[in-house]
A and B are shown apart, each in its own frame.
Chain A
Amino acid sequence: MNFRSLAIRLIAQPLSWARAMSRRRRLEKEMEAELATHLEYLAADLVRTGYAPDEAARRARIALGSSIVHKEEMRAALGLRGWDEMRSDLRYGARVLRKSLGFTAVAATSLALAIGANTTIFSVARQVLYERLAVPHAVNLRLLAWSAMDRHRAVHHIWGDDDPLPGGRTTSTSFSYPAYQQLRAANRSMGDLFAFKVTAMNATIRTEPQRIQTEMVSGNYYAELGVRPQLGRAIQPGDEGAPGQGPVAILSEGLWERSFARSPAVLGEIIKISDITFTIIGVNPHGFTGAKNVQQSPDVFVPLSMQPLIRPMSVRAAQAGKPYASALEDPNFWWVNVMGRTWPGTRDATAQAALAGQLNAIVRATMPVRPGDDLPHLELRDGSRGLFTQEKMFAKPMAVLLTLVGFVLLLACANIANLMLARGAQRQREMSVRLALGAGRTRILRQMLVESLLLAGMGGTGGLFMGYLGRNIIPRMTENAWERSDFHVHFDWNVFAFTAGVTLLTGLLFGMAPALAAARSDVTHGLKESAKTTTRRRKGAGGKALVAFQIALSTLLVIGAGLFLRTLAGLSSVEVGFRTDHLLLVPIDPPQGRYPAGKDVQLHERLERAFAALPGVESVAVAMESYVSDGESLMGFYPQGEKYDPQKHQEEDFNVVGNRFYETLGIPIVAGRSFGTEDTRISPKVAIVNQKLAATRFPNQNPVGKMFSLNGHDADGHGGTLTDEFIRIVGVCGDTRYSNLRQEPPAQFFLPYVQQSELGGVTFEIRTRLKPETILPALRKEVRQIDPDLPVVNVRTQEQQIAADVQQERIFVTLTSGFGLLALALASVGIYGIMAYSVSQRTNEIGIRLALGAKPSQVRAMILRESSWLAGGGVLAGLASAMVLSRAIQSLLFGIRSYDPLTLSSGVALLLLVALAASWIPARRAAGVQPMEALRHE
């Protein structure tokens, strides 16, 4: 057969098959009619040769033969036979499953649970780690990044990500605005570069002050991303004018819905962002989340040129001793993210090399570069997922969860395979009869596989349904009590395909062994009365191996859950060093435009007085950093007489606090005094250090009375000075945790906020016995009286804040405990099933033993011993693999090693206990066998 005829067949056959399938009833009629016509012709011819009509019809029928057989062959010729057999297999399979409802229910439910868990975890992992930005051709997007040796980095001031790489390098995706502009102008190797920066800001929308996420974008941002607003117009190059120009804003669909009820009249309306008036010109399309991430859209998009007005850099400018309020003109400040699209045909490496050369030239021309400084090496990263910061947070946890949930599925498969093997032994007779009646072994194999796939299909459907119901459970768990979250898991055909694939795979996985066993059935043995005893041993061994495997997997899962449980327990019992109860955290972020240096301190003084006067408030602490909130402030700390030394670690954590900070948080003053009313803006500068700092920086000395300065670390304008004055240490306080629970209490010093020239945002920490919702209206009223545009948002208790810090651990404990419980349940079903089966098969043997004088307790012990061997083997295997695998999760643990003896031994004990409990009933049944009955049974 040559190529042409093969091609014709490849086209003709599927068409013909589809035609036959779609008009099946008509086809059957036509076959009938065609054969009937044939008979008539033949009979007519026979009559013509002299036969009587009746005789002619009879002879014609004989000549043609059985029309049933012919029709079967005609169907086979059209390729319909496979389908027909499949249908009868399905019908038969459904009948078999319906007949043993108990088995079907247990198997389908356990599969549904396992597949549902897999679907849920997969859908979250896919969204977090693989979903692309909702823009056309996201794959072409490249994110500009750079890396340099940390020690001699030419770039000193970064606002944005700054991550360590192996080998002492660090990497960042932040660029200075001048560097961006010059790169854009010089770029000849990829699409036009666009820039953006996402940051939180205060806004007043329809008189409602709130805290919003704002994405500042370059004028070409919308054009380059290829995004068109669903309402109004996009931000255009013309909107991005000189610094301070272009007060136009585009809303996210979420904000449009929340604050404007999707009103089309929103265009032209005014909102205030950081006290600056913006005109709404558009609403983003559905699903667009900006260029930074794929999870959640910033609320408002404005031109980057507005940065000097809405987010002035005054603190930094003062530190650098330079007058920039505009980060747009500062070549030393690296903060904007830059993206561009690759051109088809231009390799990434080519574009990267060209841009890297240009960036080097730009840095040399615009920044002070000292000899030995390491210039930033530009690199192109995949930009299709935005900055993709979630990878470093979630890649490992997701991998761990997917592995564990995969184990659960494997366990469910082993369980069903085991049940089916046991059932297969009961169905041996049926198989023998079918073989004896002429069924092919492949046909039986297929029949069994169809049954398994049918079962898997039921489990898969249930799992898909559960996954759909559970798709938002994990996002809900990642939310905290005080922040809004729009993170929804998309349930699309990817997830469906995954579930379908998993279902098919599980069906094959647990169906293969029973199917092979059934196809191997022996015709003669199966039909004999006592056949079961001869085949017991081999099948029993296979089932036992499966059960041991189940126990091993359960051990692994239970130990995993135990490790995370111990981690959570460890974190929950951490001594933070201050009183966390009845403490309300109220962050206040005054916009720098309205509250420049000095004004902000006055605002906080007014608020502190107002809050303290409220009924029900016991005391109020002001703090620049609230603890266990993931924030950290560091500054160079130089005791009098100590010089800057790049080889030494001289930076220390610090906090800027109010007078009643220690009293409110219950932090003891162990030497000297606390801050008091005698410390004012004009009195000599004072500080308090904690014990850790006293011990590390003033070893064997009394730090009280010592002087230190906060001089910047170098003299080229990179560093900064809040004050040149020496500061006197007046007290020593107890140690506390700082940014999170995991980190040991760091050395820390404290400055009174009233003595600072500028401060920015602070958190008011209010000790009150009132409930947060009771006191919040009063707090809001006080703030509104002082400034109606100042939002009071993200209010939470210190305890809620600490709970949020251990959220990932809690999610892990919840999920892994769930997996562990499911595993235990499945394993106990497995053990019970195999032991009950074994006992029922050995009724005769047990009867004989009892008849010969064995005591029931001996029989019971015999059965328990057997199951103990099984459980012991499985537990040992599980323990060994747990010890190997848990090393991979050491970084997710806290306070324990991965081979934590307590967890390992409790896991082992639990599994052995469950195994014994599950085999107790079969053992009792064995001990209760009546010898006479057992023997008569034969």
Chain B
Amino acid sequence: MTPPKQDKQNDVLQGTLDLLILKAVSLGPLHGYGVLLRIQQISGEELIIQQGSLYPALYRLEHQGAIASEWGESENNRKAKYYRLTAAGRHRLEEETQKWKRMAGIMASVLRATPERA
């Protein structure tokens, strides 16, 4: 059960994708395609998610207990698998949000720094 090996850059991206998915389903249960649309929508179409990497991420999050899934009827009477946030997922979302904010703050202050004159 080892996670697939990826290089450093992908790790960051993967963590970001997890956070985005958690945020998206925290607003209400969604099927996979809905998650994709919701992320695009709330990011103001700025973020484009690789369609293929979405499902492994969903499965991984479900495997870790952060989201749960259920088969249901979609708006146009199609069967679809709906994902919702679990209690553990909500906790994790809060945690990751804090972490992300702190990281963003640090990054911002780092990038604001100007060269000192000696």
Render A124-156 as a binary contact track against B, CB cut-off 8 A, 1 for contact: 000000000000000000000000000000000
Render B75-102 as a binary contact track against A, CB cut-off 8 A, 1 for contact: 0001111000000100110010000000
Render A72-116 as a binary contact track against B, CB cut-off 8 A, 1 for contact: 011011110010000000000000000000000000000000000
Render B52-96 as a binary contact track against A, CB cut-off 8 A, 1 for contact: 110111011011110000010010001111000000100110010
A8 on the interface (CB 8 Å rule)?
yes
B51 on the interface (CB 8 Å rule)?
yes
Which of A12-20, A454-462, A825-833, A916-924 is the interface stretch?
A12-20
- B78 cross-chain contacts in A, Cβ below 8 A: 37, 40
Kindly identify, within residues 40 to 92 of chain A, every residue whose CB is under 8 Å from any CB belonging to chain B.
Answer: 40-42, 63-66, 69-70, 73-74, 76-79, 82
B1 on the interface (CB 8 Å rule)?
yes
CA distance A498 to B51 in the complex (A): 51
| Chain B residue at smallest Cβ distance from A62 | B51
A486 on the interface (CB 8 Å rule)?
no
Render A484-520 as a binary contact track against B, CB cut-off 8 A, 1 for contact: 0000000000000000000000000000000000000
B32 on the interface (CB 8 Å rule)?
yes
Which of A27-35, A636-644, A682-690 is the interface stretch?
A27-35
Per a CB cutoff under 8 Å, which of B65, B74, B79, B92 touches A13? B65
With A77-B60, A78-B59: A5-B79 Cβ-Cβ less than 8 Å: no
Task: List the 7 closest A-B pairs by CB distance, nearest first.
Answer: A12-B65, A79-B1, A73-B56, A77-B60, A77-B59, A65-B52, A41-B33
B31 on the interface (CB 8 Å rule)?
yes
- B9 cross-chain contacts in A, Cβ below 8 A: none
- B88 cross-chain contacts in A, Cβ below 8 A: 5, 8, 12
Kindly identify, within residues 275 to 308 of chain A, every residue whose CB is under 8 Å from any CB belonging to chain B.
Answer: none
- B33 cross-chain contacts in A, Cβ below 8 A: 37-38, 41-42
- A33 cross-chain contacts in B, Cβ below 8 A: 79, 81
| Chain A residue at smallest Cβ distance from B71 | A30
With A5-B88, A38-B32: A79-B63 Cβ-Cβ less than 8 Å: yes
CA distance A544 to B88 in the complex (A): 59
Interface centre among B3, B33, B71 (most CB of A within 10 A): B33
With A5-B91, A78-B59: A69-B79 Cβ-Cβ less than 8 Å: no
- A2 cross-chain contacts in B, Cβ below 8 A: 95
Per a CB cutoff under 8 Å, which of A16, A31, A34, A40 touches B65? A16
- Whether A34 contacts B81 by the Cβ 8 Å rule is yes
| Chain A residue at smallest Cβ distance from B92 | A5
- B64 cross-chain contacts in A, Cβ below 8 A: 8-9, 12-13, 16
Chain A to chain B contacts (Cβ below 8 Å), 5 pairs? A5-B92, A38-B51, A63-B51, A65-B51, A77-B63
A528 on the interface (CB 8 Å rule)?
no
CA distance A41 to B60 in the complex (A): 23
With A4-B91, A8-B88: A76-B4 Cβ-Cβ less than 8 Å: yes
A contact set with B: CB distance below 8 Å: 2, 4-5, 8-9, 11-13, 16-17, 30-31, 33-35, 37-38, 40-42, 63-66, 69-70, 73-74, 76-79, 82
- B80 cross-chain contacts in A, Cβ below 8 A: 34, 37
B2 on the interface (CB 8 Å rule)?
yes
- Whether B91 contacts A16 by the Cβ 8 Å rule is no
CA distance A932 to B116 in the complex (A): 85
Q: How distant is A362 from chain B, measured CB to nearest CB, in Å?
A: 66
Per a CB cutoff under 8 Å, which of A5, A64, A74 touches B51? A64
- Whether A11 contacts B65 by the Cβ 8 Å rule is yes
| Chain A residue at smallest Cβ distance from B3 | A76
Q: How distant is A72 from chain B, measured CB to nearest CB, in Å?
A: 9
CA distance A17 to B60 in the complex (A): 11
- A76 cross-chain contacts in B, Cβ below 8 A: 3-4, 56
- B31 cross-chain contacts in A, Cβ below 8 A: 37
Q: How distant is B103 from chain A, measured CB to nearest CB, in Å?
A: 15
- Whether B91 contacts A74 by the Cβ 8 Å rule is no
With A5-B92, A76-B4, A77-B56: A16-B63 Cβ-Cβ less than 8 Å: yes
Chain A facing B: main interface SS: helix
What is the size category of the interface that chain B forms with chain A? 20 to 34
CA distance A37 to B53 in the complex (A): 16
- Whether B65 contacts A8 by the Cβ 8 Å rule is yes
Q: How distant is A60 from chain B, measured CB to nearest CB, in Å?
A: 9
- B95 cross-chain contacts in A, Cβ below 8 A: 2, 5
B contact set with A: CB distance below 8 Å: 1-4, 31-33, 51-53, 55-57, 59-60, 62-65, 71, 74, 78-81, 88, 91-92, 95
- Whether A34 contacts B55 by the Cβ 8 Å rule is yes
CA distance A65 to B52 in the complex (A): 6
- Whether A13 contacts B63 by the Cβ 8 Å rule is yes
- Whether B56 contacts A70 by the Cβ 8 Å rule is yes
CA distance A17 to B65 in the complex (A): 11
- A35 cross-chain contacts in B, Cβ below 8 A: 55
CA distance A851 to B57 in the complex (A): 69
CA distance A4 to B89 in the complex (A): 12
Q: How distant is B36 from chain A, measured CB to nearest CB, in Å?
A: 8
- B79 cross-chain contacts in A, Cβ below 8 A: 33, 37
CA distance A13 to B60 in the complex (A): 10
- A34 cross-chain contacts in B, Cβ below 8 A: 32, 55, 80-81
- A5 cross-chain contacts in B, Cβ below 8 A: 88, 91-92, 95
* Given contact pairs A13-B1, A16-B62, A76-B4, a sample of 5 additional A-B residue pairs in the complex whose CB atoms are under 8 Å apart: A37-B80, A65-B52, A74-B55, A74-B59, A82-B2
| Chain A residue at smallest Cβ distance from B57 | A77
| Chain A residue at smallest Cβ distance from B59 | A77
| Chain B residue at smallest Cβ distance from A69 | B52
- B56 cross-chain contacts in A, Cβ below 8 A: 70, 73-74, 76-77
| Chain A residue at smallest Cβ distance from B52 | A65
CA distance A70 to B74 in the complex (A): 23
- Whether A64 contacts B63 by the Cβ 8 Å rule is no
- Whether A64 contacts B1 by the Cβ 8 Å rule is no
- B60 cross-chain contacts in A, Cβ below 8 A: 77
CA distance A31 to B92 in the complex (A): 26
CA distance A5 to B63 in the complex (A): 13
CA distance A115 to B109 in the complex (A): 68
Q: How distant is B50 from chain A, measured CB to nearest CB, in Å?
A: 8
Interface centre among A8, A17, A31, A65 (most CB of B within 10 A): A8
CA distance A13 to B59 in the complex (A): 11
| Chain A residue at smallest Cβ distance from B32 | A38
- B1 cross-chain contacts in A, Cβ below 8 A: 13, 17, 79, 82
Q: How distant is A44 from chain B, measured CB to nearest CB, in Å?
A: 9
Q: How distant is A702 from chain B, measured CB to nearest CB, in Å?
A: 93
CA distance A77 to B60 in the complex (A): 5
| Chain B residue at smallest Cβ distance from A73 | B56
Q: How distant is B76 from chain A, measured CB to nearest CB, in Å?
A: 9
Q: How distant is A193 from chain B, measured CB to nearest CB, in Å?
A: 56
- Whether A70 contacts B65 by the Cβ 8 Å rule is no
CA distance A539 to B65 in the complex (A): 50
With A34-B32, A34-B81, A40-B78: A73-B51 Cβ-Cβ less than 8 Å: no
Q: How distant is A62 from chain B, measured CB to nearest CB, in Å?
A: 10
| Chain A residue at smallest Cβ distance from B1 | A79
Q: How distant is A68 from chain B, measured CB to nearest CB, in Å?
A: 11
- A78 cross-chain contacts in B, Cβ below 8 A: 59, 63
Q: How distant is A562 from chain B, measured CB to nearest CB, in Å?
A: 53
- B32 cross-chain contacts in A, Cβ below 8 A: 34, 37-38
Q: How distant is A2 from chain B, measured CB to nearest CB, in Å?
A: 7
Per a CB cutoff under 8 Å, which of B4, B63, B71 touches A12? B63
CA distance A845 to B79 in the complex (A): 73
Interface centre among A33, A41, A77 (most CB of B within 10 A): A77
- A63 cross-chain contacts in B, Cβ below 8 A: 51
CA distance A63 to B48 in the complex (A): 12
CA distance A17 to B55 in the complex (A): 17
